[in-house]
Amino acid sequence: MQIDYFLALQSPYVYLAGRRPWEIAARSGVALVLKPVDVAQLFPRTGGKVREERHPSRNDYAAQDRARQAKKLGLKLDPAPLFRAANPAPAAYALIAAQAAGGGDLAGYVTAISRALWAEGRDISDDEVIRAALAAAGFDPAVADRGMLMAAETYAANLEEAVAKGVFGVPFFVVGEEKFWGQDRLDDLDLYLAGRL
């Protein structure tokens, strides 16, 4: 058994999820496999819309809800980060390469990249930001350079797998046939893995 964790590093909800997916996996004794996806391609293929195409009322509600969730979790959250439109692919490629290489703290890398965007006003497409996050998480900062082709192919394959498995947003967790969407469903994932749901 494993948890397939479909995520996008620029997602505020991945930031809000933080380390909890790893904590849940460890408690349950199951593997957590990260599958970064391009949500700009995922949303239109699964009936969704990117933020710019959504009705303002939806965006307003989402902004209020994110602020409440961040406060509840004790996290700083910039409601309009300077680099929100940064290309997430380089950071995703680095994550894929780091996961393949092993030996570091994937949760540390994911949370560092998410925090860089949502709390520190940094550009997650910048090589220096990515390399610093890799190093802080115990990975060789050059791991992404060596694994770029493999990472690009995996990134594309993750999108196809996500669509095939019924994934339509992030963070999204798949355990066998069971699906859990959103950082606000992590408690349900935890209960399910404990045999209580």
Q: What pLDDT does 187 receive?
A: 97
Q: What pLDDT does 196 receive?
A: 96
Q: What pLDDT does 50 receive?
A: 87
Residues 6+ apart with CB under 8 A from 164: none
- The beta-strand segments (E) located in the chain are 2-7, 31-36, 172-175, 178-181
Q: What pLDDT does 43 receive?
A: 96
**Per-domain residue ranges for the chain?**
2-193
Q: Is 50 helix (H, G, I), strand (E, B) or coil?
A: coil
Q: What pLDDT does 152 receive?
A: 96
Q: What pLDDT does 147 receive?
A: 84
CB count in 10 Å sphere of residue 36: 28
- Tell me the mean pLDDT per 10 residues along the chain, length 197: 97 98 98 97 94 93 97 97 96 98 97 98 98 98 91 98 98 98 98 97
Q: What pLDDT does 109 receive?
A: 98
Q: What pLDDT does 114 receive?
A: 98
The Cα–Cα gap between 100 and 155 comes to 13
Q: What pLDDT does 51 receive?
A: 87
**What pLDDT, in 10s, does the model give residues 63-120?**
999 999 999 999 999 999 999 999 999 999 999 999 999 999 999 999 999 999 999 9
Is 3.40.30.10 the CATH classification of the domain at 2-193?
yes
CB count in 10 Å sphere of residue 177: 7
